[in-house]
Structure 1
Amino acid sequence: MFLLLALACVALAWWARWCARRRRLLALAEQLPGPPALPVLGNALILIRNPEGIFVTFDKLKEEYGRAFRFWLGPDLNYCITEPDYVKILLQSRKLNERGPQYKYMVDFLGYGILSGSGPVWRKQRKLISPNYSHKAIENYSYVFNEETGFLLQRLRARPAGKSFNIYEEVVKTTTYTVCQTLFGLSREQTMKLPYLQEIVNETHQIYAEAFMRMTKWYLQIEPYYWLSQYYPRHKRFIQKTKHMADAVVKHRLEKLNDTSLIELDDSEIAFNKHDAFSTVDKLILTKSIDYDEMLKQIFTIFTTSQETSANIASFLLLMMAYHPECQEKLYAEIKEVFGGEDRHVTDEDVKRMPYLDMVFKEVVRLFPIAAMVQRTVMEDIDISHGVTLPAGSSLTVLIFHLHRDKEFWPDPDTFDPERFSPERSAARDPNCYIPFSLGSMNCLGRHFGTKLVKTVCIRVVREFRLASPETYADLKLLCAVSVESVNGYPVFLNPRLN
């Protein structure tokens, strides 16, 4: 009893000192509405629920307090925004060019890479590898995209017709082998022999889900508690596996980089003058701007943000076709118009001739965005409007999932309707209510890579198979695990089309 009383006194003393030092922050926080906050915990107790409940929680807060409200996650003040005009200004502001504090819970396995990093080192690394995600580079990846999709079709043909399975499990193999051969510069044989590759692919979903739990559950942010939890040893094992895999990738590329004169190139020459000759891994090796352990984490970041995300979007797209046969047949008619009865590689020109596919893709990433929410640290005070100031030291959280389902901008927002993205309806809508790849300097680096890979996979799968599902769209349940995911996987069954 005495110990509990002593701990309570320490907590209250710490809280009183914290309030005294942040009087201005507390005063400015009152400029926006928000739920009542408890000392120390803030509003963290609201988030103690399963991952499926996060969307419902923030939807209720948005309904009650509007498109701009405050939310205390422990002592961290967050301004949750779904107002399009604010979103455009804030995400492109130089005063919001640092990731928010919750990203630190992914740093252990992602390092300070393109997903969880920020600051000068992050900007330098992003600039270095950006050419490998450019339109020109992606044109060179087209052959691998199609070849790996061909292997996917072989696996799908071998499955019993009409028997349900989780199509993500097959699609993620395709995106994994594709990323390793394009961004990493490996051969298919080298990729298949990477240590722990399949285990990493199988476990990544769970690791992201648990990382998101740490972001939102206050007790998992207490380091001693986390170290004693079931998650810590699992995360440590996963990190070791990713390092072993990334180390093998580096060794393969070092064997290729046998010209020692390359070591003398500066970063700009590596990044731009010879970008067709260097993979992303080559550039990280040659630039020597980060230590080896951090380089291994960045290699895993490039891997997971490219293969896992692409597989997730492609699986959602195929599942939506299974749920909506009328949309599937319209897409199939477009595919037949472009390809006829020919089974061949998909080209950029083919994709340009497929406006309905583009509408389907856009509707999928509207409903199931790559990131459900993004967080930025406010580096300097920002005046937004009506006398409201976001104070330095607070965080901006853009609720992308909720922005994409706002009834004012999206009639029947939860309905799957690709026609929303017809030219006429798009022109009449505020463009800032749709940000599937975020905005500003921290937008999604792999958006062009992922879009082309997803479209290639989906064109060739829908061309050959008619998809259906044992479930309906009404059965779909979503969870937030950094990205938006399906609770029950992506169950479909396939029937070969008779061409």
Structure 2
Amino acid sequence: MIVQLFMCVLLIYLAIWRWKARHRIAFAKHFKNDIKAVPLLGLHVIANCKTDHDRWKAIKMFADETLKQGGAICAWNLHILYFLVADPVISECIMKSCLEKADAMKLTLSIVGNGSAVADVPIWRPRRKILVPIFSPKYLMHFEKVFSKQSMILMQQLKKAASQGQLSMSKYVTRYTMDSVCETALGVEAHAQSNPDQKLHHAFLNSCRLISDRIIKPWLHFTPIYKLTADYKEFMGYVDTIYSFIQDVITAKRKDLAAKNNVVEDEDRLKPILELMLETSGYSDTTLIEETVVIFTAGTDTSALATSFTSVLLARHPEIQEKVYQELTQVFGDSKRPVQFEDLHHLKYLECVIKESLRLYPPAPFVLRKIDKDLELPNGLTLPKGTSVINNVYATHRNPAYWGDDADQFRPERFIDTPLTHPAAFLAFSTGPRNCIAYRYAMMSMKTALSTLLRHFRVLPISEEELGQPIDLKFDIMLRANDDFQVKLEPRN
């Protein structure tokens, strides 16, 4: 009797759900998808694999299928319809019109609270207006001294490690980006490079690990259940460490600014981002913490990953590395002087190399959006409210219709030879109103670190078999090399 009652309730629920989802069901029929789904569960079993490497293979399977079907497919995950897109025309339409981030993306970035990277539009919009001017060249040019100083410290650390054989580039570059972000964003020195065991660095790495672990366990997506686990307690401990550190800096900076209220200051003095926000925003401490955590986490991880991917690609393509070195020689001669802001404008080929690395291996391989109202697509179909969209950056960057038949090849010259065939064909920094406002900051940091690295070292693969080969990947909350970016370094002198 109980079983019959349960089945009756279940059938009624499914009938109601199917009626409410009828527009999404009809929409999905327009898009072919040859990946077989599990009845009722959809693709949930496939998408949530046991290891980071397995998870990437599943994600890549969907990317390949999206390209095979012409740039768009639909897939059900439990009760949620996902619209997977690798066509710049469709992506641009969605990312300009639908600004709400999908709930799944908010889960992956749960450490940032209501930070503008994931905040709902009413919160994001006024914050964005304040943040955009802060990331203008007027202020960013002063940060180059920090990037340059920290890149020289990075070289000192790499010299010690290079003599011991192969090493993980990301291990060292992440400390460089953390020190750079703390000094440029907060105005404090974290000393992560000289003291890698310090609490802040430890808290950042482990909070990312726990977020990744939560993603692959769907039962932990429900917050009340997650709060009952030991992982939640551990995660909140790391979050408290990061937040307490930033809160202390904010408190000290407010007192410092109050003391200097009537003092005429040097206009050329480096003002950290936190100080600029305090002067222009009127943000509460809670808002300041959330926005600073966004800058701290994104500025540390994404720039480090992009720099690491570029280093490995240069190791596997020595002929391209030599072209970069020749450009560096033209700009710097044979000196090892620190990089200056004016130098960055002359490193045009290096910038193309970085962009090509971001094209092939974007640290954030997809962008999720939530459709909060019906949207007419360029092909005339209506994308129904309630659909979740995965703008597949990885697949878009390899779409042969926009990048040619050699879309899988590492060829930096493509950013010199021809302009983009569509503005949304390159999504490394997203597109539309919610694009990355810190792209200039990121490029400055990456160009400084890589130019300093390549003037001091020749980057080599760990074996000759890797020459010209693609990078084996894994995915947690970001795209990473499966071997943690292993290379060898050979001093140039």
TM-score, reference length from structure 1: 0.86
Mean Cα displacement is larger for which, 454-463 or 485-494?
485-494
Q: Deviation string for 1:295-323 (max 9, x for gaps)?
A: 43332221011111111111111121222
2:32 is aligned to 33
Q: Deviation string for 1:267-295 (max 9, x for gaps)?
A: xxxxxx99975633662698455563x54
- The alpha carbon displacement at 1:342 in A equals 1.5
Alignment partner of 1:442 out of 434, 444, 451 = 434
1:441 & 1:147 partners in 2: Cα distance?
33
1:428 & 1:138 partners in 2: Cα distance?
26
2:412 is aligned to 418
2:18 & 2:45 partners in 1: Cα distance?
20
Alignment of 1:280 onto 2:270: no
Answer yes or no: is the 8 Å Cα contact 1:372–1:399 preserved in 2. Answer: yes
Alignment of 1:343 onto 2:347: no
Mean Cα displacement is larger for which, 181-190 or 326-335?
181-190
- The alpha carbon displacement at 1:260 in A equals 9.6
- The alpha carbon displacement at 1:388 in A equals 1.1
Alignment of 1:250 onto 2:261: no
Residues 169/428 of structure 1: CA separation in 2 closer, same or farther (3 Å cut)? closer
The one-letter code of the counterpart of 2:28 is A
2:390 is aligned to 397
Answer yes or no: is the 8 Å Cα contact 1:81–1:398 preserved in 2. Answer: yes
1:257 & 1:8 partners in 2: Cα distance?
66
1:60 & 1:188 partners in 2: Cα distance?
42
- The alpha carbon displacement at 1:362 in A equals 1.0
Mean Cα displacement is larger for which, 127-136 or 440-449?
127-136
Alignment partner of 1:84 out of 64, 84, 88 = 88
The one-letter code of the counterpart of 2:186 is F
Residues 414/191 of structure 1: CA separation in 2 closer, same or farther (3 Å cut)? closer
Mean Cα displacement is larger for which, 101-110 or 374-383?
101-110
Alignment partner of 2:289 out of 296, 303, 306 = 296
Mean Cα displacement is larger for which, 330-339 or 400-409?
400-409
- The alpha carbon displacement at 1:433 in A equals 1.9
The one-letter code of the counterpart of 2:477 is V
- The alpha carbon displacement at 1:441 in A equals 0.9
2:222 & 2:12 partners in 1: Cα distance?
18
2:422 & 2:26 partners in 1: Cα distance?
33
The one-letter code of the counterpart of 1:52 is W
Alignment partner of 1:463 out of 436, 440, 455 = 455
- The alpha carbon displacement at 1:69 in A equals 1.5
2:73 & 2:111 partners in 1: Cα distance?
32
**Aligned-residue CA RMSD in angstroms?**
3.2
Give SS of 1:241's match: helix
- The alpha carbon displacement at 1:11 in A equals 4.1
- The alpha carbon displacement at 1:394 in A equals 1.6
- Aligned pair count reads 479
TM-score, reference length from structure 2: 0.87
- The alpha carbon displacement at 1:382 in A equals 1.5
2:194 & 2:431 partners in 1: Cα distance?
36
1:102 is aligned to 104
Mean Cα displacement is larger for which, 458-467 or 368-377?
368-377
1:124 & 1:375 partners in 2: Cα distance?
21
Alignment of 1:47-126 (within 5 A): 47-49=47-49, 50-63=54-67, 65-93=69-97, 96-106=98-108, 108-126=110-128
Q: Deviation string for 1:166-225 (max 9, x for gaps)?
A: 121111111111111111122467998997212124325424533543xxx644434455
The one-letter code of the counterpart of 2:492 is R
The one-letter code of the counterpart of 1:444 is C
1:497 is aligned to 492
Residues 166/123 of structure 1: CA separation in 2 closer, same or farther (3 Å cut)? same
Residues 208/490 of structure 1: CA separation in 2 closer, same or farther (3 Å cut)? farther
Identity, in percent, stands at 25
Mean Cα displacement is larger for which, 226-235 or 60-69?
226-235
- The alpha carbon displacement at 1:435 in A equals 1.8
1:199 is aligned to 202
The one-letter code of the counterpart of 2:415 is F
Answer yes or no: is the 8 Å Cα contact 2:99–2:369 preserved in 1. Answer: yes
Q: Deviation string for 1:67-116 (max 9, x for gaps)?
A: 112122222222111112212222222xx011122123145311121322
Residues 384/143 of structure 1: CA separation in 2 closer, same or farther (3 Å cut)? same
- The alpha carbon displacement at 1:353 in A equals 2.0
Give SS of 1:364's match: helix
2:323 is aligned to 330
2:411 & 2:92 partners in 1: Cα distance?
25
1:153 is aligned to 155
- The alpha carbon displacement at 1:344 in A equals 1.6
Alignment of 1:340-379 (within 5 A): 340-379=333-372
2:447 & 2:272 partners in 1: Cα distance?
25
Mean Cα displacement is larger for which, 383-392 or 37-46?
37-46
1:39 & 1:274 partners in 2: Cα distance?
63
Q: Deviation string for 1:419-450 (max 9, x for gaps)?
A: 2222x2x2374443222111011111211101
Q: Deviation string for 1:437-476 (max 9, x for gaps)?
A: 1101111121110101100010011001111121425373
In structure 1, stretches of 5+ residues that fail to align are 263-272
Residues 4/196 of structure 1: CA separation in 2 closer, same or farther (3 Å cut)? farther
Answer yes or no: is the 8 Å Cα contact 1:195–1:245 preserved in 2. Answer: no
Residues 8/220 of structure 1: CA separation in 2 closer, same or farther (3 Å cut)? farther
Residues 222/204 of structure 1: CA separation in 2 closer, same or farther (3 Å cut)? closer
Answer yes or no: is the 8 Å Cα contact 2:92–2:431 preserved in 1. Answer: yes
Alignment of 1:427 onto 2:429: no
- The alpha carbon displacement at 1:404 in A equals 0.8
2:260 & 2:331 partners in 1: Cα distance?
48
The one-letter code of the counterpart of 2:31 is L
Q: Deviation string for 1:333-359 (max 9, x for gaps)?
A: 111111101122223432222222122
The one-letter code of the counterpart of 1:280 is L
Alignment partner of 1:482 out of 477, 481, 491 = 477
1:153 & 1:74 partners in 2: Cα distance?
49
Residues 278/464 of structure 1: CA separation in 2 closer, same or farther (3 Å cut)? closer
Mean Cα displacement is larger for which, 376-385 or 186-195?
186-195
The one-letter code of the counterpart of 1:76 is I
Q: Deviation string for 1:252-273 (max 9, x for gaps)?
A: 32332325979xxxxxxxxxx9
Answer yes or no: is the 8 Å Cα contact 2:48–2:55 preserved in 1. Answer: no
Give SS of 2:258's match: coil
Mean Cα displacement is larger for which, 436-445 or 200-209?
200-209
1:8 & 1:56 partners in 2: Cα distance?
37
Give SS of 2:55's match: coil
Residues 445/8 of structure 1: CA separation in 2 closer, same or farther (3 Å cut)? farther
Residues 341/77 of structure 1: CA separation in 2 closer, same or farther (3 Å cut)? same
